[in-house]
Amino acid sequence: MLRYLYRTTGNRQTAEDLFQETFRRVHEKANSFNGNNFRSWLYAIATNLAINEFRKRKRRPEISLEHIAESKNAKCENGNCQFVETLTANEKTEPGAQILREELKTRVWAAVNSLPAKQRLTLVMAYYQQMKYSEIADVLGCSTGAVKTHMFRALKHLRRVLPDGPGGAL
Amino acid sequence: MNGHLSEDKLINYAFDLGSQRQTRAIEAHLQGCAECRGQLEAIRGRFAVLDVLSEDIAVSEALSARVLAEVWGESAADARESATDARQGAGDARDCVVNRGGRRWAAPAWMGIAAGLLVIASVLVINERWKADGVQKKAVSGPQIGGDGGEHTASPEPVFGGAAKGLVAAGAPAELASAGHGVQAEERPPFAPASAIELVVLPRRENVQLTIYNSADLTLVRERRNLTLKKGWNWLQFMWANTLIDPTSLSLEPLEHKDKIEVQQLVYPARLKEIGRWLIRSEVEGQAPFEITYFTSGLSWRAFYMGTLSADEKTMQLNGYVRVDNHSGEEYENAQTRVIVGQVHLLDQIAELARRPYPYGSPIATDMGMMGGMGGFGGGLGMDKGVRYNWFADGDIDRDGVDLYDLNFDALQAIRKVEKEGLSEYFLYTIEGTDTIPNEWGKRLPSFTVDEVAVENLYKYDETRWGTETVRFVSFKNDADHNLGETPLPEGSVRIYRRAGEDGALAYTGGTEFKYIPVNEKAELNLGAARYVRVEPVLMESRTDHYQFDRNGNIDGWDEVQTWKVAVTNTREIGVKVEVFRDFGTPYWDIENSGQFDAFEKEDMDTVKFTVEAPARSKREFVYVLTTHQGTRREAVK
User: How does DSSP classify residue B527?
Assistant: E
Distance CA B165, CA B84 (A): 46
pLDDT of the residue at B607? 94
Distance CA B12, CA B361 (A): 74
- 3-state DSSP helix/strand/coil % of chain A, to nearest 5: 70, 5, 25
Mean pLDDT within A63-90:
41
Indicate the residue type of B601.
E
Mean pLDDT within B272-299:
85
Full-model pTM? 0.45
Indicate the residue type of B150.
G
Contact B70 A24 (CB under 8 A): yes
Distance from CA of B62 to the nearest CA of A (A): 10
- Tens of pLDDT, residue by residue over B325-352, are 999 888 888 888 888 765 555 554 444 5
Contact A33 B115 (CB under 8 A): yes
pLDDT of the residue at B72? 60
Dihedral sign (CA A52, A57, A62, A67): positive
Evaluate if residue B46 carries a pLDDT over 90.
no
HEC secondary structure over B312-349: CCCEEEEEEEEEEEECCCCCEEEEEEEEEECCCCHHHH
Substitution target in A13, A43, A155 with the highest count of B β-carbons within 10 Å is A155
Lowest mean pLDDT across A141-145, B160-164, B183-187, B537-541: B160-164
Looking at B54-173, which runs of residues are DSSP E strands?
166-171
CA distances from A158 to A136, A144, A164 (A): 20, 21, 11
Helices (H), B315-440: 346-355, 363-366
Residues B54 and B48: beta-carbon distance below 8 Å = no
Mean pLDDT within A43-68:
67
**Exposed, middle or buried: residue B623 (CB in 10 Å: 0-12, 13-18, 19+)?**
middle
Q: Which of B17, B63, B119 sits opposite A148 (nearest CB)?
A: B17
**Phi-psi sector, B183: left (phi>0), alpha (psi -120 to 50), beta:** beta
Distance CA B175, CA B123 (A): 14
pLDDT of the residue at B199? 43
- Tens of pLDDT, residue by residue over A80-124, are 444 333 334 344 444 455 566 777 777 788 888 888 888 988 998
Which neighbouring-strand residues pair with B448? Answer: B320, B389
pLDDT, averaged across chain A: 73
pLDDT of the residue at B187? 58
List phi, psi (to 5°) of B400.
-80, 5
Query: How confident is residue B518, by pLDDT bands cut at 50, 70 and 90?
Result: confident
Evaluate if residue B109 carries a pLDDT over 50.
no
Q: How many CB atoms lie within 10 A of CB A141?
A: 10
- Tens of pLDDT, residue by residue over B588-618, are 999 998 888 888 899 999 999 999 999 999 9
Residue that wins the pLDDT comparison between B426 and A155: A155
On the CB side of B606, CA atoms within 13 Å amount to: 9
Query: How confident is residue B416, by pLDDT bands cut at 50, 70 and 90?
Result: very low
Query: How confident is residue B167, by pLDDT bands cut at 50, 70 and 90?
Result: low
With contacts defined as CB-CB under 8 Å, which chain A residues touch B71? 23-24, 27
Residue that wins the pLDDT comparison between B241 and B601: B601
Distance from CA of A78 to the nearest CA of B (A): 15
Distance CA B9, CA B15 (A): 10
Contact B111 A35 (CB under 8 A): yes
Crossing angle of helices A12-28 and A2-9, rounded to 10° = 130
Residues B391 and B431: beta-carbon distance below 8 Å = yes
Residue that wins the pLDDT comparison between B600 and B120: B600
3 state SS of B230: coil
Total residue length of chain B:
638
Chain A CB within 8 Å of residue B22 CB:
no
Distance CA B488, CA B84 (A): 76
Q: What is the CA radius of gyration of chain A?
A: 18
Nearest to B53 by CA among A63, A146, A16, A158: A158
Contact A72 B53 (CB under 8 A): no
Distance CA B436, CA B352 (A): 28
Contact B116 A108 (CB under 8 A): no
Distance CA B331, CA A25 (A): 49
Substitution target in B67, B123, B125 with the highest count of A β-carbons within 10 Å is B67
Angle among Cα A111, A112, A115 to the nearest 5 degrees reads 95
Nearest to B394 by CA among B382, B410, B385, B384: B382
Contact A19 B59 (CB under 8 A): yes
Which neighbouring-strand residues pair with B305? Answer: B320, B494
Residues B234 and B282: beta-carbon distance below 8 Å = yes
Residues B403 and B358: beta-carbon distance below 8 Å = yes
ipTM reported for the complex surpasses 0.90: no
Lowest mean pLDDT across A32-46, A114-128, A156-170, B263-277: A156-170
Residue that wins the pLDDT comparison between A27 and B281: B281
Contact B74 A108 (CB under 8 A): no
Q: Which of A7, A16, A162 sits opposite B49 (nearest CB)?
A: A162
Distance CA A54, CA A119 (A): 13
Distance CA B203, CA A82 (A): 39
- Tens of pLDDT, residue by residue over B524-561, are 888 889 989 999 999 999 999 999 999 999 999 999 99
On the CB side of B179, CA atoms within 13 Å amount to: 10
Evaluate if residue B619 carries a pLDDT over 90.
yes
Chain A CB within 8 Å of residue B123 CB:
yes
Q: Which residues contact B174 (CB under 8 A, 6 or more apart)?
A: B197, B198
pLDDT of the residue at B560? 94
Evaluate if residue B383 carries a pLDDT over 60.
no
- Tens of pLDDT, residue by residue over B175-218, are 333 333 444 445 565 554 444 344 444 556 788 888 888 777 88
Contact B49 A104 (CB under 8 A): yes
Chain A CB within 8 Å of residue B59 CB:
yes
List phi, psi (to 5°) of B124.
-65, -40
Total residue length of chain A:
170
Q: What is the CA radius of gyration of chain B?
A: 41
Which neighbouring-strand residues pair with B388? Answer: B449
- Tens of pLDDT, residue by residue over B424-460, are 456 677 777 788 888 888 888 887 888 889 998 899 9
Distance CA B122, CA A1 (A): 10
Residues B324 and B332: beta-carbon distance below 8 Å = no
Q: Which of B12, B15, B67 sits opposite A20 (nearest CB)?
A: B67
**Exposed, middle or buried: residue B56 (CB in 10 Å: 0-12, 13-18, 19+)?**
exposed
Indicate the residue type of B308.
T
Question: In angstroms, how far apart are the furthest CA atoms of chain B?
Answer: 143
3 state SS of B611: strand
Q: Which residues contact B601 (CB under 8 A, 6 or more apart)?
A: B608, B609, B611
Contact A27 B63 (CB under 8 A): no
3 state SS of B422: coil
Q: Which of B46, B56, B112 sits opposite A159 (nearest CB)?
A: B46
pLDDT of the residue at B70? 66
Residue that wins the pLDDT comparison between B177 and A11: A11
Dihedral sign (CA B332, B337, B338, B343): positive
Lowest mean pLDDT across B149-153, B219-223, B353-357: B149-153
Residues B579 and B606: beta-carbon distance below 8 Å = no
Lowest mean pLDDT across B51-65, B243-257, B317-331, B355-369: B355-369
Q: Provide the percentage of residues in chain B whose pLDDT is more than 90.
A: 19
Nearest to B411 by CA among B377, B441, B362, B385: B377
pLDDT of the residue at A140? 86
pLDDT of the residue at B623? 93
List phi, psi (to 5°) of B99.
-60, -35
Distance from CA of A104 to the nearest CA of B (A): 8
Query: How confident is residue B391, by pLDDT bands cut at 50, 70 and 90?
Result: very low
